[in-house]
């Protein structure tokens, strides 16, 4: 049987473990001998590769993070270590790869394919939801639910003390998490890289609300805007309200995968195995406008576009 290796790489995201499980099970069903690569790109270099067993993937569906662990290896971008990685795979009869990760992982595996012609399928997994060509990446729904729960808890304190809270979300330079969270939590302010903001307009709007009886304010800020600390100070000075900053940080990347992330993982896994069976060499699995498909690796060089309807709704919170 032809060997196929499954690995996770880059930042962890809820949904990776279900994807690993479903990739192994579906690959076996289709006649492959599945292997697991531990520790991401570093595992390819150090030969941390073993044949997947039933025990490896039992009881992992509900777990966050990645049981295979991950890494960001600078060594992989040196010729000698890519050669070493190829030799490790060749000795085990591994002819195909599935990588569950983000654009950096896909770029690394594409370079590997160009040199050693080992086809790969990429399953998008990043809470940032910033991979071009797909509307959804594994981990996003779980992250949004973690953020929602956090904001709901913070609101309890805001109500108790007549206080403003600024909540910073992850997302690198993509404001998807911030905008979606702001809309779903009823925040009064949202600042994200995709939004044009006007603090004077925000101030006038909220001053009217405060005079009308509003006694707390919730603001959601994307980390890529670099505005969280400034906005916190601005609220204190301009709205004369006690304001606190909460940086949610890595809590957003953890947690048991939601139902949606588990189902998305299953569909992406099936699509990845089928893509390799069909002879595709370096495709990314996609979900666009309700349909599953694939896209060429070149799409990662494009700019990620957020659903315009979300941007339009969130824009009202920035003015």
Do 277 and 294 touch, CB atoms closer than 8 A? no
On average, the pLDDT of the chain sits at: 95
Does the pLDDT value for residue 72 go beyond 90?
Answer: no
Hey, which CATH number is domain 141-253, 2.30.30.60, 3.90.1150.10, 3.90.320.10, 3.40.50.460?
3.40.50.460
- CB count in 10 Å sphere of residue 278: 9
Which CATH number is associated with domain 3-139+257-302?
3.40.50.450
pLDDT classification of 25: cutoffs 50, 70, 90? very high
Every domain range in the chain assigned CATH 3.40.50.450: 3-139+257-302
Do 132 and 302 touch, CB atoms closer than 8 A? yes
Average pLDDT of the residues in 50-63: 96
Give the model's pLDDT for residue 303. Answer: 86
Give the model's pLDDT for residue 155. Answer: 93
Strand order in the sheet with 164-169: 189-191, 217-222, 164-169, 243-247
Do 102 and 124 touch, CB atoms closer than 8 A? yes
- The CA distance from 151 to 252, in Å, is 12
pTM across the whole model: 0.94
Catalytic residues: 128
Give the model's pLDDT for residue 162. Answer: 86
Give the model's pLDDT for residue 187. Answer: 97
Closest CA to 5 of 102, 86, 110, 126: 86
- The CA distance from 68 to 7, in Å, is 7
Q: How many CA atoms does the CB half-sphere of 210 hold within 13 Å?
A: 18
> Which of helix, strand or coil describes residue 50?
strand
Give the model's pLDDT for residue 73. Answer: 84
pLDDT tens digits, one per residue of 289-319:
999 999 999 888 888 889 999 999 999 999 9
pLDDT tens digits, one per residue of 114-133:
999 999 999 999 999 999 99
């Amino acid at each position: 049987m032809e060997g196929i290796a499954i690995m996770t790489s880059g930042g962890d995201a809820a949904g990776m473990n279900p994807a690993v499980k479903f990739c192994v099970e579906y690959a076996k069903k289709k006649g492959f001998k599945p292997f697991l690569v531990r520790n991401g790109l570093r595992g390819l270099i150090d030969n941390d590769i073993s044949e997947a067993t039933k025990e490896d993937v039992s009881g992992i569906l509900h777990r966050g993070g990645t049981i295979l662990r991950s890494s960001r290896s600078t060594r992989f971008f040196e010729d000698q270590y890519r050669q070493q990685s190829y030799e490790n795979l060749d000795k085990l009869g591994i002819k195909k790869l599935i990588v569950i990760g983000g654009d950096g992982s896909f770029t690394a595996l594409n370079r590997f394919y160009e040199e050693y012609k080992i086809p790969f399928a990429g399953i998008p997994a990043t809470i940032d939801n910033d991979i071009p060509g797909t509307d959804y990446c594994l981990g996003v729904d779980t992250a949004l639910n973690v953020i929602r729960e956090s904001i709901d808890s913070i609101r309890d304190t805001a109500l108790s003390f007549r206080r403003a809270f600024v909540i910073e979300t992850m997302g690198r330079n993509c404001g998807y998490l911030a905008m979606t969270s702001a809309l779903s939590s009823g925040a009064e302010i949202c600042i994200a890289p995709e939004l044009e903001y006007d603090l004077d307009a925000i101030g006038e709007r909220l001053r009217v609300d405060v005079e009308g009886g509003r006694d707390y304010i919730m603001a959601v800020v994307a980390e890529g805007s670099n505005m969280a600390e400034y906005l916190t100070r601005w609220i204190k000075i301009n709205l004369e309200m006690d304001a606190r900053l909460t940086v949610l940080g890595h809590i957003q990347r953890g947690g048991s995968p939601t139902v949606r992330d588990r189902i998305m993982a299953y569909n992406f896994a099936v699509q990845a195995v089928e893509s390799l069976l069909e002879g595709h060499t370096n495709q990314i699995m996609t979900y666009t406008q309700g349909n599953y498909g694939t896209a060429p690796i070149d799409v990662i060089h494009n700019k990620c576009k957020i659903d315009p309807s979300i941007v339009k709704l969130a824009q009202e919170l920035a003015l």
